[in-house]
C-alpha cells in the first residue's frame, strides 16, 4: 500500500516539476520582452503586472505542492522564484522614467474619493433599460446600452428581473465587473461598465451568451469559473485570463496570457501573446481569433496554436487539444453577421413582458449558440 502511495507522490512531484519549469520559462521570456526595445511602451506595464501576478501564483503553487515535493525541491523552487522576482524588479527599474528634477508639493486639501464597484448580480436594483443613457461611440454601442438585462437564479425556475446602473453610478466607470449565477440569458454590459485597470469575472454561467466585446477598456484581469454550454465573447485582456471548469462552450478571447484548468469539450477562438497553459483539460479545439473581433496589430505575436499542456509528460503531441479544422470554424463573415445580430436583434428574455415573447427570445438565443458551435 505504501509503495502505491509513494509512487503516486513521485508522479505528482514529476508533474509539478514539469509544470514549474514550463511556467518559469514562460515568465523568463515575458521578463525579457519587458526590456526588449521593440516592445510597445504601453505593453510594458501590462507585461510587468502579468509577471508579478504569475510569480505570486507560482509561489502559491509551490506552497500547495509541499505535500508531495521534497524539501530539496522546495528550496530549489524558492530560489528560482526569488531569482524571477529579482530579474523582474531589475527590468521594472530599468524601464522606469528618469526624473531630472524634484518638486516639493504643497499639502493637498483633504478629499474623499468614491470608487464605484458594482456587480451584475441579482442583488442590484432594478430599473428600466430605457433609463440607461446610450453611448455615443457607435450605433452598436447605442443599441447595446439599452439591452442590459439579466435573469436571477432560483431553486426551481427562473424569473425575469431587469437590471441597469443607477444614475449616480453610471457617471463613473466601474472598478470591476462581475457576472454571477446566470442561466439562459443574453448579457451585453454597457461600454462604460469598466474603467482602466478593471478586473472582470464570470462565474456559474449556463446556456447563456455573454458579450463583452463592446467595453470601452480592456480588462486588467479576466476570471471565468464554471461555464457550461455558453458563448463567451471577451474584450481584450491586458494581462492574464484564468478559465476554470468550462465545458461544452465556445470562448472568444484575446489576452497576454491564457491559463485553462479542468476544461473540457470547448472551442477556443484565441489570440494569445504568450503560450497558453493547459492543465487537466481534455478535448479542447483551438482556432485563431475571428478577424472581425481582432483589434491587435499584426506585428504582435500570436501563440494560439502553441499551448503548453503541463498535464502531458509523454513524448509526442498532447491528445488533450487540437487545432479546429478550418471547415469546422465559424467563417469570418458569419462572425460579422452574428455580432451584428447580437447587438441589434437578439434580446435577453428578461426584457420580454409575456411568456410568448420570452420563449421567442430564448429560441433566438439557442439558435445563436448553435451557430457559434455550442452543443445544446
With a CB cutoff of 8 Å and minimum separation 6, the contacts of 140 are: 214, 340, 343, 344
Which residue shows C-alpha cell 456559474? 204
Q: Which of 33-42, 161-170, 203-212, 346-355 has the lowest mean pLDDT?
A: 161-170
Write the pLDDT tens digit of every residue in 160-190.
Answer: 233 333 333 334 445 689 999 999 888 888 8
| DSSP β-bridge partners for residue 178 | 201
Strand pairing class (149-150; 161-162): antiparallel
Q: Please tell me whether the overall predicted TM-score, pTM, comes out greater than 0.75 for this model.
A: no
Which secondary-structure segment (H or E) carries 245?
Answer: strand 231-247
Q: Provide the 3-class DSSP secondary structure of residue 341.
A: helix
Q: Which of 41-45, 200-204, 219-223, 333-337 has the lowest mean pLDDT?
A: 41-45
| DSSP β-bridge partners for residue 253 | 270
Nearest to 303 by CA among 248, 260, 361, 256: 256
Q: At what angle do helices 332-344 and 355-372 cross, to 10 degrees?
A: 160
What pLDDT, on the 0 to 100 scale, is given for residue 307? 93
Residue 39 in this model has a pLDDT that exceeds 80: no
Choice between 348 and 49, residue whose per-residue pLDDT is larger: 49
What pLDDT, on the 0 to 100 scale, is given for residue 353? 59
Q: At what angle do helices 2-35 and 41-64 cross, to 10 degrees?
A: 160
Amino acid at each position: 500500500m505504501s509503495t502505491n502511495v509513494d509512487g503516486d507522490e513521485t508522479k505528482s512531484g514529476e508533474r509539478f516539476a514539469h509544470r514549474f519549469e514550463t511556467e518559469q520559462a514562460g515568465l523568463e521570456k515575458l521578463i525579457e520582452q519587458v526590456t526588449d526595445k521593440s516592445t510597445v511602451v504601453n505593453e510594458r506595464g501590462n507585461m510587468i503586472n502579468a509577471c508579478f501576478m504569475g510569480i505570486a501564483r507560482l509561489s502559491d503553487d509551490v506552497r500547495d505542492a509541499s505535500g508531495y515535493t521534497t524539501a530539496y525541491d522546495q528550496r530549489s523552487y524558492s530560489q528560482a522564484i526569488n531569482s524571477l522576482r529579482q530579474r523582474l524588479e531589475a527590468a521594472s527599474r530599468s524601464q522606469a522614467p528618469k526624473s531630472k528634477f524634484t518638486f516639493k508639493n504643497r499639502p493637498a486639501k483633504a478629499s474623499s474619493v468614491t470608487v464605484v464597484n458594482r456587480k451584475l448580480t441579482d442583488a442590484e436594483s432594478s430599473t428600466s433599460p430605457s433609463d440607461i443613457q446610450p453611448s455615443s461611440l457607435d450605433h452598436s454601442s447605442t443599441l447595446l446600452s439599452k439591452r442590459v438585462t439579466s435573469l436571477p437564479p432560483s431553486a426551481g425556475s427562473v424569473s425575469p428581473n431587469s437590471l441597469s446602473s443607477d444614475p449616480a453610478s453610471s457617471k463613473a466607470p466601474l472598478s470591476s465587473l462581475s457576472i454571477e449565477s446566470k442561466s439562459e440569458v443574453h448579457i451585453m454590459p454597457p461600454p462604460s461598465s469598466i474603467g482602466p485597470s478593471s478586473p472582470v469575472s464570470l462565474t456559474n454561467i449556463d446556456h447563456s451568451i455573454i458579450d463583452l466585446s463592446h467595453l470601452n477598456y480592456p480588462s486588467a484581469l479576466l476570471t471565468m469559473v464554471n461555464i457550461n454550454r455558453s458563448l463567451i465573447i471577451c474584450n481584450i485582456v491586458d494581462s492574464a485570463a484564468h478559465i476554470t471548469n468550462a465545458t461544452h462552450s465556445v470562448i472568444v478571447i484575446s489576452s497576454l496570457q491564457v491559463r485553462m484548468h479542468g476544461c473540457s469539450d470547448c472551442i477556443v477562438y484565441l489570440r494569445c501573446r504568450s503560450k497558453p497553459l493547459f492543465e487537466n483539460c481534455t478535448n479542447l479545439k483551438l482556432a485563431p481569433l475571428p478577424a472581425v473581433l481582432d483589434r491587435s496589430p499584426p506585428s504582435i505575436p500570436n501563440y494560439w496554436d502553441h499551448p503548453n499542456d503541463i498535464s502531458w509528460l509523454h513524448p509526442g503531441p498532447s491528445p488533450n487539444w487540437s487545432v479546429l479544422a478550418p471547415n469546422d470554424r465559424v467563417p469570418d463573415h458569419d462572425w460579422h453577421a452574428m455580432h451584428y445580430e447580437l447587438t441589434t436583434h437578439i434580446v435577453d428574455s428578461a426584457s420580454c413582458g409575456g411568456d410568448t415573447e420570452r420563449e421567442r427570445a430564448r429560441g433566438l438565443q439557442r439558435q445563436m449558440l448553435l451557430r457559434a458551435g455550442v452543443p445544446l
